[in-house]
Amino acid sequence: MFALSTETLYRARRAKNIAAQVLASIATLFGVFWLVWIVWTTLSNGLAALDISLFTQMTPPPGEEGGLLNAIFGSILMSLLGVLFGAPIGVLAGTYLAEFSRTRFTARLGETIRFVNDILLSAPSIVLGLFVYTLVVAPMGHFSALAGAISLAFIVLPVVVRTTDEMLRLVPAQMREAALSLGVPQWKVTVQVLYRASLPGIVTGVLLALARISGETAPLLFTALNNQYWTTDLMQPMANVPVVIFQYAMSPYDSWHTLAWAGAFVLTVFVLLVSVAARAIVSRSRISND
């Protein structure tokens, strides 16, 4: 009797375990299935639409052939400006969190900033776009590439703050103590010792931020808007790849759809390359530290 009930209990547990493992494996296949489908669609449609004119011609009017030159230029320019505005402030703020919030008051302030930064990190980008709209576009009276770059900078900022903070805290305390005991002032310790030690990590943070903003669409809709023509004027609306993809994909024209797929392909490949590069830097530096 006793043996029988243990036997059934054992069987039930075994069955449950097998069912759970099968379901978990199916869940993984389910997740991977969609993602492979999406990447495959983008790559195959994009490769078919890829053409040299993509990089040599401007965005066309409906029904005509053209390329994405002005949009690619605009995306590169605004992303670089976004990193240029956001990353230095991010590195400094991360330095404050890791190195300078030591007294009781500043420690509490540091905790609050860290918390707010985490929220900013996952805040919807469309909200940041509206913020920059009321901050920059509305007072100026018109859309501009500068406003687009500023909205991207607000996305770069929390990513860089987070990685800088984490990377600086990974630097061993002995390094700080050794430098300080030689009489080196703290700012020099920070800039010449700590930044150097955590450089790969900080660069990774900046690259991840770059990967993230290069595909951002929502904030650019109300800041940089779009522009069918070539422009280098930061005070004017500027074309950029994500908004062009959005506009072209939503249009009824086949030639615009083709260009949208080509843009999606370029965007995806760029983002994946940058993320892989970022990860490679981290793993290499980890090996060299051991």
Partner 1 sequence: MNSIALPTAAIDDRAARDVRNDRRFAWIVGIAGVFVLVSLVAAAFSMLWGGRLAFQTFGLKFLWTDAWDPVNQVFGALVPIYGTLVTAFVAMLIAVPVSFGIAMFLTEIAPKWLRGPVGAAIELLAGIPSIIYGMWGLFVLVPVLSEHVYPWVDEHMGQWPIVGRFFAGPPMGLGMGTAGLVLAIMVIPFIASVMREVFLTVPGRLKESAYALGSTRWEVVWDVVLPYTRSAVIGGIFLGLGRALGETMAVTFVLGNAHELTTSLLMPGNSIAATIANEFAEADSEMYRSSLIALGFVLFLVTFTVLTIARLMLRQLAKKEGN
Q: Shortest distance, CB of residue 83 to partner 1, whole angstroms?
A: 16
| 89 near partner 1, judged by CB under 8 A | yes
Using CB under 8 A, which of the segments 15-23, 50-58, 63-71, 196-204 binds partner 1? 15-23
Q: Choose between 56 and 169: whose C-beta lies nearer to partner 1.
A: 169
Residues numbered 105 to 144 that lie near partner 1 (CB under 8 A) are 106, 109-110, 112-113, 115-120, 122-128, 130-131, 133-135, 138
| Cα–Cα distance for residue pair 219/284, rounded to 1 Å | 34
Q: Shortest distance, CB of residue 122 to partner 1, whole angstroms?
A: 5
| 195 near partner 1, judged by CB under 8 A | no
Q: Shortest distance, CB of residue 39 to partner 1, whole angstroms?
A: 7
Q: Shortest distance, CB of residue 206 to partner 1, whole angstroms?
A: 15
Biggest CA-to-CA distance, the chain: 87
Q: Per-residue contact track with partner 1, 54 to 83, x per CB under 8 A? A: ------------------------------
Asked whether the CA dihedral 77, 80, 84, 85 is positive or negative, the reply is positive
69-95 vs 145-170: helix axis angle to the nearest 10?
Answer: 40
Other beta carbons less than 10 A from residue 136's beta carbon? 18
| Cα–Cα distance for residue pair 186/251, rounded to 1 Å | 57
Whether 72 and 55 have beta carbons less than 8 Å apart is answered as: yes
Q: Per-residue contact track with partner 1, 198 to 237, x per CB under 8 A? A: ----------x--xx-xxxxx--xx--x------------
Q: Choose between 80 and 271: whose C-beta lies nearer to partner 1.
A: 271
| Cα–Cα distance for residue pair 112/251, rounded to 1 Å | 45
Find, among 45, 66, 41, the residue nearest to 56 by Cα: 66
Q: Choose between 48 and 56: whose C-beta lies nearer to partner 1.
A: 48
| Cα–Cα distance for residue pair 270/68, rounded to 1 Å | 15
Q: Choose between 56 and 224: whose C-beta lies nearer to partner 1.
A: 224
Whether 98 and 169 have beta carbons less than 8 Å apart is answered as: yes
Residue selected from 233, 276, 280, 286 as contacting partner 1 according to rule CB under 8 A: 276
